[in-house]
Amino acid sequence: MRDSESARKSQDDAEVIADRLHSAAIHLLRRLRREDATSGLSAPRLSALSVIVFGGPLTLGELANAEQVRPPTMTRLVSALEDAGLVTREADPEDKRLTRIRATSKGRALLSRGRARRVAALTEEVRALASDERADLARALAILDEVIARLR
């Protein structure tokens, strides 16, 4: 095979792998999301809570931007989270005109329990693999970690 043909085939292989990886990631998250139903929160509320827990205290605008929704939509989501005792609003210590949204211990615990349920469901499936398949998956995950680090 000539160099240009080899490069084109390698490029095509990369695109096929990227497409399959993208699809697999979406399907995996959709299936694991079934575990979230027991939280009692809608997917948008869980997503916003996750951003708050892992992103630290955020302004409403920062949160709306992160979740790619308009501020009025985020105001409704945050109000519902606040009513449930999962987040609080606090004045920014640097700029009293700003309000930051912070997760409560109840919000962090709810998110932690949800993650534990998703990991437990996935653990069952990984345990069902043969040991050589688990080793292959571990090697693939190491490579995936490298790919993710380069996407940042």
Residues 6+ apart with CB under 8 A from 21: 144
Check pLDDT > 60 for residue 1: no
Q: Kindly tell me the burial class for residue 32, based on how many C-beta atoms sit within 10 Å of its own C-beta (0-12, 13-18, 19 or more).
A: middle
Length of the chain: 152
* Residue that is written with structure tokens 């997917």 in the block: 43
Full DSSP string of 104-147: -HHHHHHHHHHHHHHHHHHHHHHHTS-HHHHHHHHHHHHHHHHH
Q: Model confidence over 28-57: pLDDT tens digits?
A: 988 888 888 888 898 899 999 999 999 989
Domains and CATH numbers, the chain: 1-39+105-152 (no CATH), 41-103 (1.10.10.10)
Share of the chain above pLDDT 90, in %: 73
**C-alpha span between 83 and 76 (Å, rounded):** 11
In the structure, what pLDDT confidence band is assigned to residue 93 with cuts at 50, 70 and 90? confident
Q: Model confidence over 122-139: pLDDT tens digits?
A: 999 999 999 999 999 999
∠ CA 25-31-35, rounded to 5°? 125
- pTM recorded for the entire structure: 0.76
Cα 141 from chain centroid (whole Å): 16
SS3 assignment, position 103: strand
